[in-house]
Amino acid sequence: MSQTRALHQQIAQLPALEQIALVEEILHRLDAPDSSVDALWAIEAENRLAAYREGRVQAIPLSEALAKYWSERVG
């Protein structure tokens, strides 16, 4: 049995509140700030804004983007 499957089984045996606490701890660890990732996203944002301002890409209305997102999630 894989470690992951064994862990899943152990977690399933925990009371609901302990499962929630475990999920919160995992999410907290995964969401830790990382300055190198932040720096890369800052560069990406600057590049995207420059591309928009130079006319290399076009913006689409938020309503259109959300409609596409929801249609892909549901459909």
pLDDT band, residue 75 (cuts 50/70/90): low
Would you say the C-alpha torsion 8, 11, 16, 22 has a positive or negative sign? negative
Residue that wins the pLDDT comparison between 74 and 13: 13
| Model pLDDT for residues 26-65, shown as the tens digit of each residue | 999 998 889 999 999 999 999 999 999 999 999 999 999 9
CB 52 within 8 A of CB 59: yes
How far is residue 63 CA from its own chain's centroid? Answer: 21
pLDDT at 12 over 70: yes
